[in-house]
Structure 1
Amino acid sequence: MRVEIWSDIACPWCYIGKARFEKGLAAFAHRNDVEVVHRSFELDPARAKHDTAPVVEMLAKKYGRTREEAQAMEEHVASNARSEGLEYRTEGRDHGNTFDIHRLLHLAKARGRQDELLTLAYRANFAEERSVFDQEVLVSLAVEAGLDEPEVRRVLEDGTAYADEVRADEREAAELGATGVPFFVFDRTYGVSGGQPAELFTQALEQAWQGRKVTAAAAGNADTCDADGACEVPAAAVEG
């Protein structure tokens, strides 16, 4: 059985959702028969390559909030991450264009190291003092994941390398109706939107395994990051 996960490294709910999905998968009796494929989805594709901005500033502008309210939004997401055993920095993170990261993830997929690179990139972006929008950081992460440094540099220098693969993933997401991430598709029969609880992922795996043709999406795409580059949180998180 194949599980496809559309996500973006800039999306905190994707970071959290990956951890929750892996817990759900661990509880699934047929977990050894599941192939997981990570697919590309850019939250902010129109942003210029070197145009980065602090996350809190981006959230305040997107939602028309004060800086304090935007910071509270980050704290809410951080609380969810920490409840899953994930580290999460609420200060000093940047938001930017992730196209090069997606291209490297396709290289990593071709070399059998996709999950390793994705895990390292999430950790660098959300837990560590390393900007994934810096080319040298990307090279370092890719090498740490087991990729060949000269090949990594060639891909980064050639803006067309794996670009078609990224665009194909994004077209497919649109065809499937995905407007935010994370978006999980189980054997092309069952869809789940958002960083849902681990138990729901186990249930989805079981239903897909049984061959039920069902579609399930979280109401309002809660706990997702949208295609405008922002991440949805309950209003109470910024008003309380």
Structure 2
Amino acid sequence: MRVEIWSDIACPWCYVGKARFEKALDAFPHREGVEVVHRSFELDPGRAKGDIEPVLKMLTKKYGMSEAQAQAGEENLGSLAAAEGLAYRTRDRDHGNTFDMHRLLHLAKDKGRQDELIQLFYQANFAEEESVFGDDERLVSVAVAAGIDADDARRVLADPDAYADAVRADEREAAELGANGVPFFVLDRKYGVSGAQPAEVFAQALTQAWGERPAPLKIVQPEGDGAEVCGPDGCAVPQK
């Protein structure tokens, strides 16, 4: 079974939702049969790469709230993250364009290190003091920590077209599936779960999706010699 997760590194609910989903997945009896793929979704796709501002300032402008209200929201998110065992800096974080991080996540997918990289990007953005915005070498260092070759990461960052189509394809697909916010979880292209739901909701969705998977094909084999077939090594020659 495949679970696809549309998310953005700048999304705190994606950070919390990933932890809740993984709690359910770790307890799922068929865990080894579940493939998880991370898909790209930008919360602020129109923001220029060099346009970086404090999170509180962004929140007050985007939602028309006071700075005190924005700070209270951050404190609440910090408490929810802590309940999932996650570190969360409630002050002095930056907000910026995440397109390059999504391109690196597609590189990491090709290298088999996608889950490692997205978790380290979340940690860097939400828990560490050094900003992940505006410095390519900061992104390279995070990629290296996830097991990506530094030169490979630099080549992607130096080429604005590298994996750009893959990111845009993910975003188009999200729109086609009806996702207008993240996190958005799609299980075997049958069920969609929107938001950072409790682990119990994810557990129920996993169980339901797994139970509706097609049954394995049963081969009808009569007793005695099997019928002749053609295979990779050619066709059996009939014997008199």
Query: What TM-score comes out, normalization by structure 1 length?
Result: 0.87
**CA-CA distance at 1:151 after TM superposition:** 1.1
Structure 2, unpaired ranges of 5+: 214-240
Partner of 1:76: 76
Alignment RMSD: 0.8
Matched to 1:146, the amino acid is G
Summarize deviations over 1:93-129 as a string: whole Å, max 9, x none. Answer: 1111100000000000000000111111100100111
Partner of 2:200: 199
1: CA distance, partners of 2:184 / 2:130: 26
The residue correspondences of 1:137-152 to structure 2 (distance < 5 A) are 137-152=138-153
The residue correspondences of 1:153-172 to structure 2 (distance < 5 A) are 153-172=154-173
Matched to 1:47, the amino acid is R
Partner of 1:181: 182
1: CA distance, partners of 2:42 / 2:101: 10
Matched to 1:85, the amino acid is G
The residue correspondences of 1:195-234 to structure 2 (distance < 5 A) are 195-211=196-212
Matched to 2:42, the amino acid is E
- What percent of counterpart residues are identical? 73
1: CA distance, partners of 2:209 / 2:43: 28
Structure 2 residue 121 is the aligned partner of structure 1 residue 121:
yes
Partner of 1:34: 34
Summarize deviations over 1:49-93 as a string: whole Å, max 9, x none. Answer: 110110011111111111111101111111110111111001111
2: CA distance, partners of 1:202 / 1:130: 35
Runs (4+) of structure 1 exceeding 2 A deviation are none
Partner of 1:6: 6
2: CA distance, partners of 1:38 / 1:177: 17
SS in 1 for 2:39: strand
SS in 2 for 1:5: strand
Partner of 2:16: 16
Summarize deviations over 1:147-175 as a string: whole Å, max 9, x none. Answer: 11111101000000000000000000000
Query: What TM-score comes out, normalization by structure 2 length?
Result: 0.87
Structure 1, unpaired ranges of 5+: 213-240
Partner of 1:51: 51
Partner of 2:102: 102
CA radius of gyration, larger in: 2
**CA-CA distance at 1:210 after TM superposition:** 1.1
2: CA distance, partners of 1:175 / 1:147: 31
